[in-house]
Structure 1
Amino acid sequence: MRILHLRRAAATGAVVLIALGTAATPAFAFAGRANAKVSVVHGIPGQPVDVYVNGEKTIEGFEPGKVAGPLSLAAGQYDIALTKPGDAIGDALLTVNDADVPGDANISLVAHLGEDGKPVLTPFVNDTAKLAAGKARLIVRHTAAAPAVDVRAAGSPVFEGLTNPKEAKADVDAGSISADVVLAGTDTRVLGPADLDLKEGTATIVYAVGSAEAKTLDIVAQTISGLHSAPGGVPSGDGGQADQGVALPWYGVGAAGILLMMAGLARFARGRRVVAGR
């Protein structure tokens, strides 16, 4: 099996993958930096993964369509590998060595299909700016193997011509909306409609994932709360919570490590597709 190898580049940007395990953060690393808040979105259909940190398996069978986190994570350096469930670490789908973990950031890492249908890892820095009273933030991210799309609310285009792996966002009135996704410039629906509850003081992030060709397109949603600007607003807490996700599991008594992946993304080596059935 071909190994995808992502090496740490210059300190520009970040990719972060998290899990709880047995790896420890160097006490001297990144002293004085605030912790990063990190969530993980698994958007590769049909491909659960096992996750290794510093050679130790820390998560088994992380399932597609789930959101893990967020966690408040200390900065540091780690070696990470992702494998198909049960595979040896030498047959990893993806490895990264000496991965730096930055502080002072709210990041979502999305494992998804690129426009060509091959698996990629894309980091998004989440907009956590405060919202005016009565407002919510809607963020749409195109992370599917599909052509350009328009995102509509109540039948009217809100974001147009969105391509993989781009995002679009707007601060809107809080409330419930019905949204769908159509091929750009057409009325051909490829996703939805889906009812979204845009609560005041929150950012709702909607990911289009899967493959149009394989008919596995789906929606995964993540919510970041605590963005009220008015006094008495909800505290920011850990920086967000997953609407359609799962809490990251603990493996082993006293496990307190983390699994993180990040790099400058100056280059990303892509390998064979890992979607089941292709």
Structure 2
Amino acid sequence: MTARTAGVTLAAGVVAALSVAAGAPAFAQPQAETDGQATVSVLHAVPGLTVDVFAGDRELLPDFKPGTLTDPLKLDAGSYDIKVFKDGEGPGGTPAIEKTVEVPAGANATLVAHLTADGKPTLDAFVNDTSKVPAGKARLTVRHVAAAPAVDVRADGVPVFKGLQNPKEATAEVAAGTVNTDVVLAGTDTVAIGPAELDLAEGSNTIVYAWGSATDKDLALKTQTVTGMHSAPNGVPAGETGRAAGGNDDAALGALAAGAVLALGAGGHLLRRRTDAG
């Protein structure tokens, strides 16, 4: 099974399980923005750890492996009872932690399990910028979620973002087109990740995650593309793994971030237990 196929399967499973848990009709796949729904993607960026995530007694993300980014999930707004187990221990066992998550309508975000700068598992919620992009432009967002020091991000050899630290992000509007990027240690020419070729499509937000561990020498890039922000009718959309579309409501996104901290805090507790257990 390819990574993309796995992501689609996971996404469909999450939507179906959460819809049943909330007593609402299940959706087979992500659909267009609908009133009363939110768009959520999940990235597992903690090397070497596999987890199972449940809603009530229904498995949402079985064997959720590092480096996996789900396709965007269209979730009905509401409360979900999220349980996180060590891989293979649910649902009959005792969850490592259980949290009720509030999913607000209109949100567009990515939940990321990753390492802190000093290598400890943690989780964060990032708001995906879906505001309009000027004609001929693309939005480039870089998120530092790796166990590594501050970095500079270069496009065609020229620093675009300088001194980016974990877990910060930086964004800019750039000319649409293909660029060669790499990640170097801040203030140096020492390449930490890359080079990698990015296709920055007009009217899109290409989100690049630097993840992994510098100490373990497994640093890598993961790319997510959010589309649908064209300012001109002839803008060209792009399709990539992790594609999403939707509006941006500050209040809803703030509520999602708060709810995500609860849900992802459960995962963080689990991941720390796994690390402590060796």
Q: How does 1:267-278 map onto structure 2 within 5 Å?
A: 271=269, 272=272, 274=274
In the alignment, structure 2 segments of 5+ residues that lack a partner are 1-12, 25-33, 244-255
Distance 1:127 1:244, change over 3 A: closer
Letter in 1 for 2:15: L
Match of 1:63 in 2: 65
Question: Which of these residues, 15, 33, 38, is aligned with residue 20 of structure 1?
Answer: 15
Match of 1:162 in 2: 164
Q: How does 1:172-191 map onto structure 2 within 5 Å?
A: 172-191=174-193
Question: Which of these residues, 80, 83, 86, is aligned with residue 78 of structure 1?
Answer: 80
Distance 1:77 1:277, change over 3 A: closer
Match of 2:250 in 1: none
CA RMSD of aligned residues (A): 3.0
1:101 is the counterpart of 2:97: no
CA distance in 2, matches of 1:225, 1:102: 21
State which drifts further: 53-62 or 165-174: 53-62
Find the residue that maps to 1:132 and give its secondary structure.
coil
CA distance in 2, matches of 1:107, 1:169: 15
Find the residue that maps to 1:19 and give its secondary structure.
helix
Residue 49 of structure 1, CA deviation: 1.7
Letter in 2 for 1:20: V
Find the residue that maps to 1:193 and give its secondary structure.
strand
Match of 2:7 in 1: none
Residue 225 of structure 1, CA deviation: 1.0
CA distance in 2, matches of 1:168, 1:119: 22
- The structure richer in helix per residue is 2
Distance 1:163 1:274, change over 3 A: farther
% identity of equivalent residues = 51
Match of 2:10 in 1: none
1:150 is the counterpart of 2:147: no
CA distance in 2, matches of 1:37, 1:80: 17
Letter in 1 for 2:102: D
Question: Which of these residues, 241, 244, 266, is aligned with residue 243 of structure 1?
Answer: 241
Distance 1:21 1:72, change over 3 A: closer
1:263 is the counterpart of 2:259: yes
8 Å contact kept, 2:15–2:75: no
Distance 1:265 1:82, change over 3 A: closer
CA distance in 2, matches of 1:76, 1:230: 35
8 Å contact kept, 1:129–1:227: yes
CA distance in 2, matches of 1:46, 1:63: 8
Distance 1:178 1:40, change over 3 A: same
CA distance in 2, matches of 1:88, 1:218: 30
1:28-54 per-position Cα deviation (integer Å, ceiling 9, x unaligned): xxxx96311111111111222211111
1:57-101 per-position Cα deviation (integer Å, ceiling 9, x unaligned): 2331122112112122111111112223212454645x3422111
In the alignment, structure 1 segments of 5+ residues that lack a partner are 1-17, 246-259
- TM-score, normalised via structure 1 length: 0.76
Distance 1:216 1:92, change over 3 A: farther
- TM-score, normalised via structure 2 length: 0.76
Residue 161 of structure 1, CA deviation: 0.6
CA distance in 2, matches of 1:234, 1:180: 25
1:200-222 per-position Cα deviation (integer Å, ceiling 9, x unaligned): 11110000111111111111000
Match of 1:46 in 2: 48
Distance 1:137 1:275, change over 3 A: farther
CA distance in 1, matches of 2:69, 2:210: 13
Name the count of aligned residue pairs: 238
Find the residue that maps to 1:144 and give its secondary structure.
strand
Letter in 1 for 2:14: A
State which drifts further: 55-64 or 72-81: 55-64
Match of 2:209 in 1: 207
